Amino acid sequence: MSNSRIERTSWWRALPRWRAPEALRWTVGILGSAVVIALLLLAHAIPPFHAPTFAAATALSALGLALAVLHVQKYPIESLTPATVLRILLVTSILAVGGLQIVAKALSLSSDTLAPTAYLLLTPLIAMGLLIGALLGPRMALFSTALPSLALGFTGAVDPLILWTAWLTAGFAAHAVTPLRQRSDVLRAAQITVVSAAVVASASAWYAGGAPAQVALAAGWAAIAGFVATCLFWLTIALFERAFALVSDWTLHELCSPEQPLLSELLMRAPGTYAHSVMVGNLAEQAAAAIGANALLCRTMAYYHDIGKMNRPDFFIENNRGENPHERLSPSLSARVIEAHVRDGLELARMHNMPQPILDAIEQHHGTSLITYFFHKATQAGNEKDPAVEQHYRYAGPRPKTKETAILMLADRVEAAARTSKKQNPGRLRALIWEIVQDVRDDGQLDDSELHFRDLQTIVDSFVTTLGALSHERLPYPTEQGESVLVEAQNPNDEQDDAEAASAANPHGFGSDA
C-alpha cells in the first residue's frame, strides 16, 4: 500500500508545475491548435459542417496535444526547451495533415478505395518523420508521427493501411537521417527512405489482396513518395533550423570550415589564438566522444570561444611577439582587458548570427574563475586577500551549464598549461592535468554542469592521450644523400620521470580510480 502510494506521488511530482498565467497560456495554445488540427482532419468531409463531429475531433486533438506536452516535459530533449520542441511538433503536424489533405484532394482519393496512387499520400508523413528525426531524434519522430497518423485514421480521411505504411516508412526514414553531417548522409537517407517505402507498400498492397501488378505499382508510387519527401526535407530543413534557432550537425560542420568569416578574421588578426582554439577543439572533441557528449559541438564551440581576443590580440600571450603591453598597466586594468574578451566575443558572435550554443560557449568558458596572474600580482603589490578584492579579479560568468561547455573550460586550461610545460612525459602530464581539473572543481566551476566524477576521470585520460600524441621529441640526422630525416628522440630519463610523477598523479586526493 505504502509503496504504491509513493509511486503515485512520485509520478505526479514528475509532471510540470505551472503558475496560473503559464498554465492559461498552455491551455489556450492547446485548444487553439486543436481547433486548427480538427479543421484539417475533417477537411475531406466539409461541407457540410457537422458541429458534434467537429467538437469531438477538437477534443481528441486536444487530448493528443496534451499527451505530447506531458511526454516532452517528462522526457526533455537536451539543449532544447519544451516550448521549442512542442512548437516544432505542432508546426510539422499541421503541415503534414494539411499536406496530406491537399494531396488527397488533388488526386481525388478517398478512404473507400485503395488505388496504387493512394501511396502518394505517404509523402507528407514521411517528410515529417525526416524533419523530426533530423531535428529532435528518431525516438521523438516515432512518437510525433504516430499522433497525426492515428488522428487521420479515426476521422476516416485516409485508409488505415496507408497510414500504417506511412508511419512505418517515416520511422525508417527518421533513423536513416540520423546523423546528418554531410551530403552523402542525405543520399544515404534518400536511398533508405525510397527502399523502405517501396518494401512496406508492397507488403501492404499484398495484404490488401492486390494482384502482382498492383503490388508493383504500389511499390513504385511509394518509392516516388519517398523521393519527393526527401526533396521536401532537403528544402525545408534549413528553414526550420533558422525559425527555431536549432543547430544540427550539418550546421556545425559548416561553422567549422576555415572559410567562415569569423575564423578567417581570427587567423589573420590573432594567429596564436587561432592555433590555440584548434588545439582546444581537438582536446574537447576527443574528451566529449569519450564520455558520450556532443563531440562535434565541442569542437565547434572551441573554434569560436576566444574570438573576442582579436579586438586586442597583443594583450594575450599567444599573440604577443614584442613588448608586453601589460607592463604599462596596473593589475586591475590588465584584468579588465583580459576579461573583456568574453564580452567582445559575444558581440562579434551576435553580429554574425552565431547559434545559441556558440554564444553559451563564449560566455561560459571561463565561468566565474579567477584571473590568477593579475590577482596575485595585485596582492603582492600590497592589497589584502579579501573577498572584495578577489571578486574584482573574477570573470562575470555564468559557470558552465552543460557537459560540453564544462569540457571546453577544462580543455582551454589544459591546453594553455601543457603549452607552457617543458616536460610532457605521460606521468608528469597526467599529474599536471589532474591538478588543473581539481583546481577547477574546488573553485566550484563545475557545480552547474552535468559532469560526474567518473566523467572527469575519462576526460583526464583523453587529454593525456591526445596531448601525448602531439608531444613527441624528434631529432634530425643526415642520411647518406645529405638529406635530413626526423626520428623520435629517446629520453633516457623518461622512465625515471614517470616514476617520480606517479606519486604526483593523485593531487589533493583526486585519484584516477573510481
SS3 at position 370: strand
Rounded-to-integer distance, Cα 222 and Cα 128, Å: 16
Which parts of the chain register pLDDT below 50?
A: 1-15, 482-514
Summarised one tens digit per residue, pLDDT across range 29-39 is 777 777 777 77
Helix boundaries (H) for 177-330: 183-207, 212-243, 249-255, 261-269, 271-291, 295-304
Neighbours of 135 (CB within 10 A): 26
Neighbours of 104 (CB within 10 A): 21
- 425 Cβ contact partners less than 8 Å away, ≥ 6 residues apart: 491, 494, 497, 498, 501
Tell if the pTM clears 0.85, that is, is over it. no
pLDDT of 82: 84
C-alpha cell at 275: 592555433
Neighbours of 34 (CB within 10 A): 20
The full set of domains in the chain, from first to last, is: 2-246 (no CATH), 261-509 (1.10.3210)
Rounded-to-integer distance, Cα 319 and Cα 309, Å: 9
Q: Estimate the crossing angle of helix 138-154 against helix 20-41, to 10 degrees.
A: 60
Give the containing element (helix H, strand E) for 486: strand 484-488
Rounded-to-integer distance, Cα 109 and Cα 514, Å: 63
SS3 at position 476: strand
Cβ–Cβ < 8 Å for 198, 219: yes
Give the containing element (helix H, strand E) for 442: helix 426-442
pLDDT of 14: 46
